[in-house]
Structure 1
Amino acid sequence: MAYIKAISYYLPEQVLTNEELVKEFPEWSMEKVAAKVGVDSRHIAAKDETAGDLAEKAAKKLFAEYSVDPKSVDFLLLCTQSPDYFLPSTACILQHRLGIPTSAGAFDYDLGCSGCVYGLAIAKGLIAAGIAKNVLLLTAETYNKYLHPQDKSNRSIFGDGAAACLISTEGIAEIGEFVLGTDGSGADNLILKRGGARQPDANGHKEEDDDGHVRRDDFLYMGGGAVFNFTLDVVPPMMQQILEKNKLSTDNVDYYVFHQANKFMLSTIRKMCDLPKDKFYINLAETGNTVSSTVMIALKDCLDNGTIYSGMKVMISGFGVGLSWGGTMLKF
């Protein structure tokens, strides 16, 4: 069996408030931004601050908070879509910077909103196979470096940040069975074209999508309507599949922690699935959507404030860029 043993997270020092944001977009108001996406402020990585830097700080917070010896880590996973370099893997650099033994395995994997759940699945597999006993899962993104200055929608939603989770043979939450899914036919709905091998250089191309948003090849693009519809299509059946694989019913679930995409989407999911408001986590107010780190940040906050405690069964899930989705049950 595999367990979550420790969770910490790190947010950059720079904060962008709604008050500052609406100065750039006077057609908006602070109230409109807060009501639409549920975000009052978001943390922004400094110009010279990378996802690797954020992940390092999150890991060191975890080591200090839980008295974890880095030398006890025998595998390192980093989920990021904003790596420090194309090569080498940022996880390899972090192995050295964190003082993790050279006998440990380490690699990056490129996944977004479902990345935390996929990482837990990989870590559980490594432990079940006897390959590792203590897996350090790091998630880190600096999406704001990819956003066009005039992209008010995405700038209001996304925040930068990192989370660290230690998965081991014992701990505070047993990791259950997983449901994972992928639909690459929707890849174009959340994409950054510039910089990869298919489009290495900026081309300045832009066009208006069906929702009236400007789509720029050189910056991150999200087709909000398509991503919203995809989420409503996959999340309800995924929830049922998670229950079935873990031999549970809805009555057995004490709390739900889903990827913190935006307030409107989460509220729609909750109502659509008829979930009690007091069992469903929504809190993007001070972090925004931190992509792969939202679930771990939420779990850490819920543990610290007593919302989640020993004896509870918690469903977690992530969904988005890929398009991909995944979920499992945690037994605290």
Structure 2
Amino acid sequence: MSAQLSGIDYFLPPTVLTNAYIDEKFPDWKIDKVAAKTGIMTRHVAGTEEFTSSLAVKAALQLFASQSIDPKSIDYLILCTQSPDFFLPSTACLVQDELGLRTEIGAVDVNLGCSGYIYSLGMAKGLIESNQVKNVLVITAETHSKLANPNDKSTRPIFGDAAAATLIEGTAVSTRLTGFTYGSDGLGGPSLVIPNGSLRAGGSYSPRSSPTARGLETNGYDMYMDGLEIFNFTLRVVPDCVAQILDRTALTLDEIDYFVFHQANGYLIEHLRKKLGIDKSKFAVEIADLGNTGSSSIPIALARASGENKIRKGSKVMILGFGVGLSWGGAVLEWS
């Protein structure tokens, strides 16, 4: 039994934060210059009463409807998020109940961000290919807008909220998910952190993340990102990760039909594309109307590429995530 991706869909909260609104509120941010570099024009944000579980449920319901999936057929639920509704219970258990999934299934949170989709797919593959379950529902969901300080120029214009749902199923054909490569470097953790709202004082872990040091009045969370360090980290690890994936799959770069990298920001992924020598026509850029949606950026880009016929049955697609942790990971999937 091998694992394959059988269906994918996503949900965006209806509220849209535009660059025009940001420019009106913060003219000194020069949002046009920020947009020119990041490629982000708008981003979707969760409403006051919309939480990660809300987005996750709506993404799953859209997948069930578009693929005619019976919720009772789901064997296991993996929910990847770093903005859970609560410390406990797990958001996966909330979603299991709201979706009406059977109680005789596993439901677990994966606490990982930008590379989280890769890690979650790897876990789903392991569950299926070890014959523990027949299928896994993988949901990625984030409400970053609640965690970013509204007055922080380095995070508020970058991050958006979204959720995506993916069904991974067992198949008798040769494996469709291969070449998994993972990496972690916790030494870089202070570069992307939410210093407040948890049990440990973030200021002692990441001194530069303190809202006082950043000239901000705390909103209780105050997401912090050292953009330059994240940029340099990405350039260090991504080329090697790509090489490892190709080695493990015995493929060449030219044999990959499409590339879907984490949509961090336009400047960064374009720099990576050029560095790796990937043709524009084979490279996903889905950030202008979304912003950085964390673990959901890859599945959303996959869904859009499929809808636009950029990938089709049999296409070999390299997926690669990188960021918070610091962590990274990638794989190749054959579109089915």
Partners of 1:245 and 1:165 lie apart in 2 by: 24
> Partner letter of residue 213 of structure 2?
E
- Asked if 2 retains the 8 angstrom alpha-carbon contact of 1:4 and 1:171, the reply is no
* Equivalent residue in structure 2 for 1:190, among 189, 192, 196: 192
| Aligned residue number for residue 220 of structure 1 | 223
Question: SS at the partner of 1:292?
Answer: helix
| Aligned residue number for residue 21 of structure 2 | 20
- Asked if 1 retains the 8 angstrom alpha-carbon contact of 2:140 and 2:296, the reply is yes
Instruction: Give the C-alpha shift of residue 215 in structure 1.
Output: 11
| Aligned residue number for residue 81 of structure 2 | 80
Instruction: Give the C-alpha shift of residue 28 in structure 1.
Output: 4.2
Partners of 2:266 and 2:154 lie apart in 1 by: 13
When structure 1 is superposed on structure 2, of 169-178 and 54-63 the one drifting more is 169-178
Question: Do the aligned partners of residues 271 and 43 (structure 1) sit closer, same or farther apart at CA in structure 2, a change above 3 Å counting?
Answer: same
Question: SS at the partner of 1:327?
Answer: strand
Partners of 1:289 and 1:146 lie apart in 2 by: 13
Question: Do the aligned partners of residues 194 and 31 (structure 1) sit closer, same or farther apart at CA in structure 2, a change above 3 Å counting?
Answer: closer
Instruction: Give per-residue Cα distances to partners, 1:9-37, cap 9 Å, x unaligned.
Output: 00001001111111122134453233111
The aligned runs of 1:123-162 (5 Å cut-off) are 123-162=124-163
Question: SS at the partner of 1:311?
Answer: coil
1:207 aligned to 2:213?
A: yes
Question: Do the aligned partners of residues 192 and 105 (structure 1) sit closer, same or farther apart at CA in structure 2, a change above 3 Å counting?
Answer: same
For this pair of structures, how many residues does the alignment match? Answer: 327
* Equivalent residue in structure 2 for 1:296, among 280, 295, 299: 299
1:93 aligned to 2:94?
A: yes
Partners of 2:172 and 2:33 lie apart in 1 by: 42
Partners of 2:202 and 2:255 lie apart in 1 by: 49
> Partner letter of residue 71 of structure 1?
K
> Partner letter of residue 223 of structure 1?
D
> Partner letter of residue 323 of structure 2?
G
Question: SS at the partner of 1:302?
Answer: helix
Question: SS at the partner of 2:155?
Answer: helix
| Aligned residue number for residue 9 of structure 1 | 10
1:321 aligned to 2:327?
A: no
Instruction: Give the C-alpha shift of residue 205 in structure 1.
Output: 4.8
Partners of 2:172 and 2:41 lie apart in 1 by: 34
1:235 aligned to 2:238?
A: yes
- Asked if 1 retains the 8 angstrom alpha-carbon contact of 2:29 and 2:153, the reply is no
Question: SS at the partner of 1:251?
Answer: helix
The aligned runs of 1:21-40 (5 Å cut-off) are 21-29=22-30, 31-40=32-41
- Which runs of no fewer than 5 residues in structure 2 stay unpaired? 204-208
- Asked if 2 retains the 8 angstrom alpha-carbon contact of 1:187 and 1:321, the reply is yes
Partners of 1:76 and 1:257 lie apart in 2 by: 24
| Aligned residue number for residue 120 of structure 1 | 121
Partners of 1:292 and 1:124 lie apart in 2 by: 17
Partners of 1:241 and 1:200 lie apart in 2 by: 34
Partners of 1:116 and 1:214 lie apart in 2 by: 32
Partners of 1:26 and 1:155 lie apart in 2 by: 14
- Asked if 1 retains the 8 angstrom alpha-carbon contact of 2:261 and 2:298, the reply is yes
Question: SS at the partner of 1:176?
Answer: strand
> Partner letter of residue 323 of structure 1?
L
Instruction: Give the C-alpha shift of residue 170 in structure 1.
Output: 3.5
| Aligned residue number for residue 247 of structure 2 | 244
Partners of 1:162 and 1:310 lie apart in 2 by: 24
Partners of 1:36 and 1:180 lie apart in 2 by: 29
| Aligned residue number for residue 283 of structure 1 | 286
Instruction: Give per-residue Cα distances to partners, 1:234-287, cap 9 Å, x unaligned.
Output: 000000000001111112111110000000000111111111111111120111
- Asked if 1 retains the 8 angstrom alpha-carbon contact of 2:5 and 2:167, the reply is yes
Percent identity for Structure 1 against Structure 2 = 48
- Asked if 2 retains the 8 angstrom alpha-carbon contact of 1:314 and 1:331, the reply is yes
Partners of 1:214 and 1:278 lie apart in 2 by: 42
> Partner letter of residue 294 of structure 1?
S
When structure 1 is superposed on structure 2, of 267-276 and 234-243 the one drifting more is 267-276
Question: SS at the partner of 2:295?
Answer: helix
Question: Do the aligned partners of residues 187 and 214 (structure 1) sit closer, same or farther apart at CA in structure 2, a change above 3 Å counting?
Answer: farther
> Partner letter of residue 249 of structure 2?
N
| Aligned residue number for residue 58 of structure 1 | 59
Partners of 2:303 and 2:221 lie apart in 1 by: 35
Partners of 2:20 and 2:172 lie apart in 1 by: 42
Question: Do the aligned partners of residues 19 and 272 (structure 1) sit closer, same or farther apart at CA in structure 2, a change above 3 Å counting?
Answer: same
When structure 1 is superposed on structure 2, of 10-19 and 164-173 the one drifting more is 164-173
Partners of 2:22 and 2:295 lie apart in 1 by: 24
When structure 1 is superposed on structure 2, of 135-144 and 278-287 the one drifting more is 278-287
- Asked if 1 retains the 8 angstrom alpha-carbon contact of 2:154 and 2:225, the reply is no
Instruction: Give the C-alpha shift of residue 311 in structure 1.
Output: 2.3
- Asked if 1 retains the 8 angstrom alpha-carbon contact of 2:195 and 2:210, the reply is no
CA RMSD of the aligned region, Å?
Answer: 2.1
